[in-house]
């Protein structure tokens, strides 16, 4: 009989799970530009997430201090390149408040109109690109078709396709071209008539709903803790919109048309639904502004400014409901022709910090769905 030998094999630490650190970005197909996510994984599940920012930092706030009040507008409209007109607007509103300057009525309504058209342009980009990140390629083609229609009228009025440079301290660069309002009304109607593509093709897609429903739910408490704003906050039930709650421009007279879109689920699907419904409402607001402009008598669209524009000594704060959320502008003046300090509070900066709350506990496969649903622009984060 052959003797048998028993051997005990110890697997030791290999039987225990081992955390792995995974870098997503800063140059990676699943990130919106040069954002880096440092993920700690336990298998396929995310344990910790840290957004690492600063790869696109251009020092815009420091450059504000070396440019006069006319020149800083060109710096301000570039951090969120999808919301250039709205970015310009916040800066000129802060300077006008510091100067105690009243803007002509025609300029106020035109600014409101262009801000809402810019909102639609911003939202269309995400309405098309978000399904693309989840594997649906068709919606982005429709989104860019509609963007081109609106960009044509924005380019006609300002001369720029993305960086409009149409705002000025005291109003606008110039009056609207002859016949432009009719062409803008036609563009709004054309885009509205085809928006059912996103209602049916995207929201009606069971794969899209399966990838987004119940994924990445953000609580109202986390919204307040991280300073999240805009459609992302309203998708979590935080019912706040500066256009209604602290009206600026002509929004005080548009309360019957303005609809603040909210949801309560706070997941990726709710965020997309808020963005889509808000786009519908922005088109309605644009029509209301066009109606009001048609009723106004011809008049100036800006104020005459001195050759050297100096803001009085002091400080002020202006904030606007930008397409991606609340933008704030804290302006400090020492009475010179350049700001002593202009601090920019951008929506995307606060919004992506919520990733540290959203990603832990989720699967890596859901990371892209959650990341894309925060609808941010990296330049708006890094400034």
Residues with pLDDT less than 50, the chain = 6-15
List, in sequence order, the alpha helices (H) in the chain. Answer: 60-64, 72-76, 84-99, 105-133, 138-158, 180-193, 196-197, 206-212, 220-226, 231-234, 242-245, 268-295, 347-353, 355-358, 364-372, 378-382
From residue 326, how far is each of 126, 208, 348 by CA, in Å?
Answer: 18, 28, 9
CATH architecture for the domain at 60-381 = Orthogonal Bundle (1.10)
Confidence at residue 57, expressed as pLDDT on a 0 to 100 scale: 83
Query: Shortest CA distance to 325 belongs to which of 347, 304, 307?
Result: 347
Q: What is the per-residue pLDDT for 79?
A: 87
pLDDT in tens, 185-194: 999 999 999 9
Contact 219, 209 (CB under 8 A): no
196 alpha-carbon distance from chain centroid: 22
Q: Counting Cβ atoms within 10 Å, is residue 97 exposed (0-12), middle (13-18) or buried (19+)? A: middle
Q: How far apart are CA 166 and CA 290, in angstroms?
A: 18
Give domain limits for the chain.
Answer: 20-52, 60-381
Q: pLDDT tens, 137-156?
A: 999 999 999 999 999 999 99
Report which of 77, 19, 69 is spatially closest to residue 48, judged by C-alpha positions.
Answer: 19
d(CA 123, CA 147): 10
Spatial distance between the Cα atoms of 217 and 202, rounded to a whole number of angstroms: 20
Does this model's pTM top 0.95? My answer is no
Q: How far is CA 33 from the centre of its chain?
A: 15
C-beta of residue 244 within 8 angstroms of C-beta of residue 251? yes
Contact 164, 154 (CB under 8 A): yes
């Amino acid at each position: 009989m052959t003797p048998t030998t028993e051997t005990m094999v110890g697997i030791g630490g290999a039987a225990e799970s081992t955390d792995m650190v995974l870098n997503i970005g800063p140059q990676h197909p699943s990130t919106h530009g040069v954002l880096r996510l440092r993920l700690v994984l336990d298998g396929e599940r995310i344990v910790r997430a840290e957004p690492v920012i600063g790869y696109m930092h251009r020092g815009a706030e420091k450059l504000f201090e070396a440019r006069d009040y006319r020149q800083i507008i060109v710096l301000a409209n570039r951090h969120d390149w999808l919301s250039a007109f709205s970015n310009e607007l916040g800066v000129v509103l802060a300077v006008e408040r510091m100067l105690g300057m009243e803007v002509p009525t025609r300029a106020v309504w035109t600014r409101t109109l262009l801000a809402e058209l810019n909102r639609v342009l911003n939202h269309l980009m995400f309405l098309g690109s978000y399904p693309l990140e989840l594997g649906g390629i068709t919606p982005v083609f429709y989104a860019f078709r509609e963007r081109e229609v609106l960009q044509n009228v924005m380019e006609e009025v300002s001369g720029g396709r993305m960086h409009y440079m149409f705002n000025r301290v005291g109003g606008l660069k110039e009056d609207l071209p002859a016949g432009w309002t009719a062409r803008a009304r036609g563009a709004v109607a054309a885009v509205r008539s085809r928006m059912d593509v996103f209602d049916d093709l995207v929201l009606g897609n069971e794969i899209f709903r399966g990838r987004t429903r119940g994924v990445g739910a953000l609580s109202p408490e986390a919204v307040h803790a991280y300073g999240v704003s805009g459609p992302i906050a309203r998708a979590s039930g935080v019912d706040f919109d500066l256009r209604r709650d602290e009206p600026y421009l002509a929004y005080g007279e548009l309360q019957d048309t303005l609809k603040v879109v909210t949801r309560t689920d706070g997941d990726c699907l709710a965020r997309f639904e808020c963005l889509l419904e808000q786009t519908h409402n922005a088109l309605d607001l644009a029509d209301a502004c066009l109606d009001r402009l048609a009723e106004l008598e011809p008049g100036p669209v800006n104020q005459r400014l001195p050759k050297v524009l100096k803001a009085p000594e002091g400080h002020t704060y202006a904030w606007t409901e930008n397409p991606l959320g609340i933008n704030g502008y804290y302006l400090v003046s020492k009475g010179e022709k350049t700001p002593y300090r202009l601090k920019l509070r951008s929506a995307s900066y606060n919004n992506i910090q919520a990733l540290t709350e959203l990603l832990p506990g989720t699967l890596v496969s859901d990371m892209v769905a959650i990341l894309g649903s925060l609808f941010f622009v990296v330049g708006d984060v890094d400034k």
